[in-house]
């Protein structure tokens, strides 16, 4: 009986120990002299059979890093299962590989998120240059992927030849950004426009090519009234040469004091010199606009008749009538006088002579008309 009791006690102890081990959270009951799963490594992995869950004492495991990462210098990649069923201290670290600084971009620049594995670089060109190639590169396990782009200069169209002048020669394959082209004219010809033009960042020229023309202006005639020329006496002028005027004392200038010989071989109009008295007359103050005046039989007009215009017209009409009546009376009197004189001479030839003091009995004087009486 004593032997059986001892056996039951031993079994109970083993069962209790097993229960305590399960309560401690261990997933696997390790036999003395074995280690469990090795610890995990960020951005790396142990070089073992991943299905294996226990390892005997003395087992050594090597760690490796994922692609794009490398073991840190001075850190051991190995761990060992010890006699107490534990692994040696874990000090291994995986670090991202560096791709280094991106290559310099001529006539451009770049921006990066990072220069280590997973980083991205973006390229840009300076003003006046175009990007040729892909504008981004990625940092991969063995460096920057793809090819680095380039920045090519913007080009402008070829320049046409100009008549009576010379177009500058092209010294390279194309006219590029910031290239300058300077034109010249043949002798006796004047350059009209910009002598030098530039290739701009947008691929266009800063101006159109100039022209070569014969330009000759002559001093305007007649000369300015109440003024004089103080510079540019001429009498002939080249393109853009000027004449400067000045008004006499007591006169004020209206317009610019200088005029310039234009490409059409003509000057614009000269300024005017007006009296200071005329220039100081105060303008009439006008009130609000009034509605147009409508006269029967005439179109409406916005202008009101002058208050003095009607009396002037009446006086002129009366004066004309008086002069007309006077002239008519004078003409009528002359005609009547001529007619009476002729009639008297006719009567004197046929009648007997009678004394002048008394008129003949058979001749009766005709009465004068009212008009003649008024004249006398």
Confirm whether 238 is domain-assigned. Answer: yes
Mean pLDDT of the chain: 77
Q: Averaged over 272-295, what is the pLDDT?
A: 58
pLDDT tens per residue, range 320-373: 665 666 666 665 656 656 655 555 554 444 434 434 444 444 434 444 444 434
User: Are 46 and 88 in the same domain?
Assistant: yes
Confirm whether 323 is domain-assigned. Answer: no
| 119, 75 contact by CB (below 8 A) | no
* Range scoring the smallest mean pLDDT among 14-18, 63-67, 289-293, 367-371: 367-371
The count of structural domains within the chain is: 4
Q: In the predicted model, is pLDDT for residue 308 greater than 60?
A: no
Confirm whether 101 is domain-assigned. Answer: no
Confirm whether 358 is domain-assigned. Answer: no
User: Are 231 and 209 in the same domain?
Assistant: no
What was the pLDDT predicted at 227?
Answer: 92
Distance (Å, whole) CA 193 – CA 150:
37
User: Are 141 and 117 in the same domain?
Assistant: yes
pTM of the complete model beyond 0.85: no
More confident of the two residues 91 and 98 = 98
User: Are 138 and 192 in the same domain?
Assistant: no
Q: Averaged over 13-21, what is the pLDDT?
A: 47
Confirm whether 191 is domain-assigned. Answer: yes
pLDDT-above-90 percentage for the chain: 51
Q: Averaged over 5-24, what is the pLDDT?
A: 47
What was the pLDDT predicted at 338?
Answer: 60
User: Are 178 and 223 in the same domain?
Assistant: no
User: Are 231 and 205 in the same domain?
Assistant: no
* Range scoring the smallest mean pLDDT among 23-27, 183-187, 252-256: 23-27
pLDDT tens per residue, range 27-48: 444 455 799 999 999 999 999 8
Q: In the predicted model, is pLDDT for residue 237 greater than 70?
A: yes
Distance (Å, whole) CA 188 – CA 20:
117
Q: What CATH number is associated with residue 40?
A: 2.10.70.10
What was the pLDDT predicted at 101?
Answer: 93
User: Are 50 and 78 in the same domain?
Assistant: yes
Confirm whether 61 is domain-assigned. Answer: yes
Domain boundary residue among 164, 188, 213?
A: 213
What was the pLDDT predicted at 328?
Answer: 62
Q: Please state, as a whole number, how many other Cβ atoms lie within 10 Å of the Cβ of residue 323.
A: 10
What was the pLDDT predicted at 345?
Answer: 52
Q: Averaged over 211-225, what is the pLDDT?
A: 89
Range of the domain at 62: 34-96
User: Are 46 and 79 in the same domain?
Assistant: yes
Q: In the predicted model, is pLDDT for residue 166 greater than 70?
A: yes
Domain boundary residue among 195, 213, 231?
A: 213
Confirm whether 24 is domain-assigned. Answer: no
Q: How confident is the model at residue 171 (pLDDT cuts 50, 70, 90)?
A: confident
What was the pLDDT predicted at 224?
Answer: 87
What was the pLDDT predicted at 312?
Answer: 47
Q: 163-195 burial, b if ≥16 CB within 10 A, otherwise e?
A: eebeeeeeeeeebbbebebebebeeebbbeebe
What was the pLDDT predicted at 311?
Answer: 46
| 50, 37 contact by CB (below 8 A) | no
Sign of CA pseudo-dihedral 98, 99, 103, 104? negative
What was the pLDDT predicted at 75?
Answer: 86
More confident of the two residues 24 and 169 = 169
- 30 alpha carbon, distance to own chain's centre: 84
What was the pLDDT predicted at 352?
Answer: 40
């Amino acid at each position: 009986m004593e032997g059986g009791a001892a056996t039951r006690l031993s079994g109970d102890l083993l069962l209790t120990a097993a229960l305590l081990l399960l309560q401690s959270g261990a997933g696997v009951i390790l036999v003395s002299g074995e280690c469990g799963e090795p610890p995990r490594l960020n951005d790396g992995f142990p070089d073992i059979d991943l299905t294996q869950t226990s390892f005997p004492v003395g087992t050594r495991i090597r760690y490796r890093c994922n692609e794009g990462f490398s073991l840190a210098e001075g850190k051991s990649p190995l761990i060992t299962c010890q006699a107490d069923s534990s692994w040696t201290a874990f000090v291994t670290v995986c670090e991202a590989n560096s791709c280094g600084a991106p290559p310099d971009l001529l006539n451009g620049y770049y921006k990066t998120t990072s220069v280590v594995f997973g980083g991205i670089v973006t390229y840009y060109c300076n003003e006046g240059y175009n990007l040729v190639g892909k504008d981004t590169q990625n940092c991969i396990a063995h460096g920057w992927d793809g090819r680095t782009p380039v920045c090519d200069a913007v080009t402008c169209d070829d320049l046409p030849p100009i008549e009576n002048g010379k177009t500058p020669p092209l010294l390279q394959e194309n006219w590029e950004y910031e290239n300058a082209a300077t034109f010249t004219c043949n002798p006796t010809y004047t350059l009209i426009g910009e002598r030098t033009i530039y290739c701009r960042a947008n691929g266009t020229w800063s101006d159109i090519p100039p022209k070569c023309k014969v330009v000759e202006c002559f001093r305007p005639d007649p000369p300015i009234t109440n003024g004089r020329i103080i510079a540019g006496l001429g009498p002939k002028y080249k393109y853009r040469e000027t004449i400067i005027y000045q008004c006499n004392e007591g006169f004020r200038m209206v317009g610019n004091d200088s005029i310039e010989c234009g490409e059409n071989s003509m000057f614009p109009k000269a300024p005017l010199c007006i009296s200071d008295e005329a220039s100081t007359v105060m303008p009439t103050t006008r009130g609000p606009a009034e509605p147009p005046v409508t006269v029967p039989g005439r179109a409406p007009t916005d202008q009101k008749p002058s208050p003095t215009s009607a009396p002037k017209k009446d006086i002129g009409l009366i004066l004309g009538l008086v002069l007309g009546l006077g002239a008519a009376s004078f003409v009528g009197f002359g005609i009547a006088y001529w007619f009476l004189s002729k009639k008297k001479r006719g009567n004197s030839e046929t009648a007997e002579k009678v004394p002048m003091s008394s008129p003949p009995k058979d001749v009766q004087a005709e009465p004068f008309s009212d008009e003649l009486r008024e004249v006398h």
